Chains A and B, each alone.
Chain A
Amino acid sequence: MAWKFNDGAPIYLQIVNTLKRNIASGAYPPGSRLPSVRDLALEAGVNPNTMQRALSELERSGLVNSQRTAGRFITEDASALLDLRKSMSEEIVSEFIARLRGIGMSDEQILDTVRDKINSEHKEET
């Protein structure tokens, strides 16, 4: 089946996270129409009720708007999208920092490593 799920965490929450990633990355562009619950459930290989619950969660957070007959649309609110990217970045960065501290890196060294890596990638591009 298409989507992979981890043990432990509720499946609806894992779906919420996958959909958020797709919204943040632009795979689902702002203002675009989401596939139907049934189609999304089939794509993910999950129960339609579970998919419905995940979509309700996204509606509550304002990332998706439901229009009675037309379906569900990704928000065009730029600040909501920015907030989404910020909160996702925060999660990724905290995990990243925790892992680097876990292998004995000082905060100074972490910052240097990141800066060096970004700089070297820029050089490769040019």
Chain B
Amino acid sequence: MSILECRGLSKNYGSIQALKNIDLSLESGRIVGLVGPNGSGKTTLIKLAQHLLTPTAGMITIDGMLPGPQTKAIVSYLPDRDFLPQWMNLDQLTAFYHEFFSDFNPAKSADMLEALGVIGTMPLGKMSKGTREKVQLIFTMSREARVYLLDEPIAGVDPATRDYILRTILTNYSENALVLISTHLITDVEPILDEVVFLQNGTIALHENADALRERTGKSIDGYFREVYRCF
């Protein structure tokens, strides 16, 4: 059953068309890669889903609802920049999530934070970039959400942190949830994807099962996009 749906979705910024008439249907239980070069519309699509932007035309729905407070209750969103109050420490963040999200599972975050070994009293802003990214992902994945929107979760971190992040996404895989990961680092996410949605200049150039794409083209997804679109 489709959980995220776009119908004729368009978004203009002044005279710039960031998304052009997009039709897209994504199902629960899938890990989907939203890929494409910078400026192709990845973040715009995610922000439309999270009601941080409103469509110029068409619509996007989550579980049949237009983006708003009801959808935010079932969507866990990881922005592409630091988004949590930097002065908060882990205990304060846990209380914060507990208060804001009814689907927050504190046992989940406690387990992951313990494994990570961060001191509970250290403020987010004092942590290294890699640790901060991990902590933000842990809180994002500790909600029992129906949709996870992860905007560039592995950009700008070292390979070990990248592995940690991908593992954390896999560990928290649920048949009832959609995970949408935007990235331009295809090679790293390739093995964990069910499907790939490739955006180019605001349109969907391709939407296909990841393994089917490898089989059809005889190439890695990364290799295919490099060759066909010359854009990575």
Contacts and interface: CB of A to CB of B under 8 A. Distances in A.
Given A1-B166, A1-B191, A8-B219, A48 B173 contact: yes
B167 A42 contact: yes
Interface in B74-129: none
B191 A47 contact: yes
Contacts of A73: none
A97 to B, nearest CB: 24
Contacts of B57: none
A8 B218 contact: yes
Interface string B153-193: 00000000001001100110100000000000000001111
Interface residues of A, number: 20
B211 A11 contact: yes
B170 A47 contact: yes
B58 interface: no
Interface in A17-41: 38, 41
A46 interface: yes
A49 B212 CA distance: 13
B115 to A, nearest CB: 14
Interface of A: 1, 3, 5, 7-12, 38, 41-42, 44-50, 53
24 contacts: A1-B167, A1-B191, A3-B191, A7-B219, A7-B220, A7-B223, A9-B215, A10-B211, A10-B212, A11-B190, A11-B211, A12-B211, A41-B170, A41-B173, A42-B171, A45-B166, A45-B170, A45-B191, A46-B192, A47-B31, A47-B191, A47-B192, A48-B170, A50-B191
